[in-house]
Amino acid sequence: MVAYLIRRLWQMIPTLIGVVLLVFVLFHFFGGDPAEILGGLNATQDQINAIRQQLGLNEPWYVQLWIFLKQIATFDWGKSWATNEAVSHLFATRLPATLTVMVPILLLDTLLAIPIALGVAYVRGSLTDRTLMVVTTVALSISFLVYIIIGQYFFGFQLGWFPVQGWSDSTLTNLITYVPLPVLLAVMVGVSPQTRLYRSFFLDELGHDYVRTARAKGLTEGTVLFKHVLRNAMIPILTNVGLALPGIFVGSFLIEVFFSIPGLGREVLLAVNRSDYPVIQATTVYLAVLTMFINLATDLLYKVVDPRVVLK
C-alpha cells in the first residue's frame, strides 16, 4: 500500500507539470492582452504600458513562467483584477458557501440513488421498474433551468415555504433557511441519472454466477443483495462519486447565480465574464490538483471496499 501510494504521488508530478504548462501557454500566448483588458477601451498607450510593467507582462516568457510557478508554490496569486481582492481571500470566503450547498446535494444524490437503484434492479422488468425508468427518463429530458424557474415560483412565491434568494453569515441559518430549496431541486434532477447508472451496475452483478451460487446455498435475499451484490457494485459507484467530487468545490453555476449564493461557482463565472485571469488560473490549477488527489483517494477506497483488489 505504501509503495503504491508513493508511486502514485510520484506519477502526479509530470501530470501537474503538464497542467501548469498548458495553463500558462493558453493564458499568455492565446488569451487577450491583460493590460488592454484592464485598461479598457479609453486607455492610452502609456497607461497600457504602465499596467504591463506593473503585472510583469513585459518580462521574458521564462521569467513570467517562474513567477507563475512561485504563485502556485506559495498559494499567492496576487489580487483579482476586477475587485482588487486577494485571490486567496476570495477562495477562503467563497468556498464555504459552495460546500454548504453542494455537499448535501452529493450526499443525498448518492444515498437516495443506491437503495432505489438496488430495489428496481431486484424487481427488474416489473411495473415498478418500468415506471421508475420512465420517470427518470422524463426527469433527465428537462433542463435544470426549468426546475429552478418552476421550483422558485411554486415553492417560493406560491407556497412560501422557502426564500427564493438570500444568504447569511451563519452556516446553521443557511442550512435551515436558504439551502433546502436549491438542494431539493438539484436532488430531483441529480438522482435520476444516478439511479439509472447504479441500476445498470446492480443488474450486471445480479447476472453473475456467484449470485446464483449464494442463493443455492440458502442465503437470504437481503444477504445476497447487501453483502455480495452491493459490495461488488461499490467499485464503479465509488468511481462515479470520485468523478463528481471535484465539482462540489466549484459548485453549480446555475444554483449559485439564480439563488444569489456567494459561492465559488458564481465567482468563477464572473471571473470568466470579466477576464479576471488570476482567479481563473488559480481555479484551474487547484481543481486539477484536487482531481488528482481525489482519484488517488478513490483508488485507495477500492481496497477498503473489496480486499481482493490488488493495487499495482
Residue 2's Cβ-side half-sphere holds a number of Cα atoms within 13 Å equal to 0
User: What's the pLDDT at 205?
Assistant: 82
Considering the domain architecture, whether residues 221 and 267 belong to the same structural domain is answered as: yes
Is residue 210 domain-resident? yes
Is residue 81 domain-resident? no
Is residue 80 domain-resident? no
User: What's the pLDDT at 307?
Assistant: 66
The count of other CB atoms within 10 Å of the CB of residue 4 is 15
The boundaries of the domain holding residue 68 are 2-74
Is residue 82 domain-resident? no
Is residue 311 domain-resident? no
Q: Which residues pair with 86 in a beta bridge?
A: 79
The count of other CB atoms within 10 Å of the CB of residue 168 is 10
Counts of helices then strands in the chain (DSSP H, E) = 15, 0
Considering the domain architecture, whether residues 194 and 257 belong to the same structural domain is answered as: yes
Considering the domain architecture, whether residues 97 and 37 belong to the same structural domain is answered as: no
Q: Which of 283, 256, 268, 232 is nearest to 166 (CA)?
A: 256
Mean pLDDT over residues 171-196, rounded? 86
Tens-place pLDDT, residues 186-220: 888 888 888 888 888 888 888 778 878 877 877 77
Tens-place pLDDT, residues 216-241: 877 777 788 887 888 888 888 888 88
Tens-place pLDDT, residues 83-112: 778 888 888 888 888 888 888 888 888 889
Is residue 173 domain-resident? yes
- CA max distance for the chain: 85
Considering the domain architecture, whether residues 162 and 191 belong to the same structural domain is answered as: yes
Is residue 37 domain-resident? yes
Considering the domain architecture, whether residues 127 and 254 belong to the same structural domain is answered as: yes
Percentage of the residues of the chain whose pLDDT score is greater than 70: 87
User: What's the pLDDT at 309?
Assistant: 64
Q: Is 86 helix (H, G, I), strand (E, B) or coil?
A: strand
∠ CA 125-126-129, rounded to 5°: 80
Considering the domain architecture, whether residues 241 and 291 belong to the same structural domain is answered as: yes
- Contact call for residues 219 and 134 (beta carbons, < 8 A): no
Considering the domain architecture, whether residues 58 and 124 belong to the same structural domain is answered as: no
Give the least confident one: 20-29, 55-64, 290-299: 55-64
User: What's the pLDDT at 41?
Assistant: 60
Is residue 27 domain-resident? yes
User: What's the pLDDT at 177?
Assistant: 85
Considering the domain architecture, whether residues 57 and 95 belong to the same structural domain is answered as: no
Domain count, the chain: 2
The CATH number covering residue 123 comes to 1.10.3720.10
Tens-place pLDDT, residues 30-86: 666 666 666 666 666 676 667 666 666 677 777 778 877 887 877 777 777 777 788
∠ CA 181-187-193, rounded to 5°: 155
How far apart CA 285 and CA 280 sit, in angstroms, is 9
Considering the domain architecture, whether residues 147 and 93 belong to the same structural domain is answered as: yes
Considering the domain architecture, whether residues 172 and 301 belong to the same structural domain is answered as: yes
User: What's the pLDDT at 75?
Assistant: 77
Give the least confident one: 71-80, 138-147, 156-165: 71-80
Considering the domain architecture, whether residues 201 and 289 belong to the same structural domain is answered as: yes
Please say if the pLDDT value at position 251 is more than 80. no
User: What's the pLDDT at 33?
Assistant: 63
Considering the domain architecture, whether residues 126 and 60 belong to the same structural domain is answered as: no
pLDDT higher for 96 or 308? 96
- Average pLDDT of the chain is 80
The count of other CB atoms within 10 Å of the CB of residue 300 is 15
User: What's the pLDDT at 311?
Assistant: 64
User: What's the pLDDT at 31?
Assistant: 62
